[in-house]
């Protein structure tokens, strides 16, 4: 009887040790994922707080060629991506427009204190409003003149 009690106690101890090891691994991984997600959220919030754009002008047909030209300044401290910047014209999402950053049409980097110019040539009539949305959700709206 002494061996069976000791043997069963050892089996229960080993089973409890293995069970705790599995529980700890699962909770540690979950805790790490939650912490990583919170850190990513804080980083995104900081990027949003450091982003500011200012619509300088939105002109239609200024050069007589039925183009919409939108000029935006990056007035925040965050460097933005031209490719990730979106344009809405009269609440319609637009793609395929030309962009230049301080006269350079080949760059995707829109640094602080630089000017982005967007030229849309596929419009049939004068739009009423434009909205520019930066990559992290900061937006600015202007009436087209």
pLDDT in tens, 40-58: 999 999 999 999 999 999 9
- Do 44 and 58 fall into the same domain? no
Domain count within the chain: 2
Low-confidence ranges of the chain (pLDDT < 70): 1-3
Looking at residue 19, what is its pLDDT?
84
User: Of 116, 110, 114, 75, nearest to 97 (Cα)?
Assistant: 116
- Collapse the DSSP code of 125 into the 3-class scheme (helix H, G, I; strand E, B; otherwise coil) and give the result: coil
Domain that holds residue 33: 1-49
- Do 24 and 4 fall into the same domain? yes
Looking at residue 142, what is its pLDDT?
96
Task: Kindly report the pTM of this predicted structure.
Answer: 0.77
CA 34/CA 46 separation, integer angstroms? 18
- Do 86 and 120 fall into the same domain? yes
- Do 88 and 43 fall into the same domain? no
Q: How many CB atoms lie within 10 A of CB 94?
A: 18
């Amino acid at each position: 009887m002494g061996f069976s009690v000791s043997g069963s106690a050892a089996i229960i101890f080993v089973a409890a040790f293995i069970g705790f090891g599995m529980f700890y691994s699962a909770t540690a991984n979950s805790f790490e994922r939650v912490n990583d997600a919170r850190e990513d959220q804080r980083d995104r919030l900081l990027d949003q707080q450091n982003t500011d754009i200012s619509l300088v002008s939105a002109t239609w047909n200024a050069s007589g060629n039925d183009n919409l030209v939108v000029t935006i300044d990056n007035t925040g401290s965050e460097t933005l991506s031209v490719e990730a910047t979106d344009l809405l014209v009269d609440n319609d999402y637009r793609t395929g427009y030309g962009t230049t950053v301080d006269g350079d049409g080949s760059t995707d980097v829109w640094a602080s204190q630089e000017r982005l110019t967007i030229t849309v040539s596929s419009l049939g009539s004068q739009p009423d409003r434009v909205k520019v949305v930066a990559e992290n959700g900061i937006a600015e709206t202007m009436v087209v003149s």
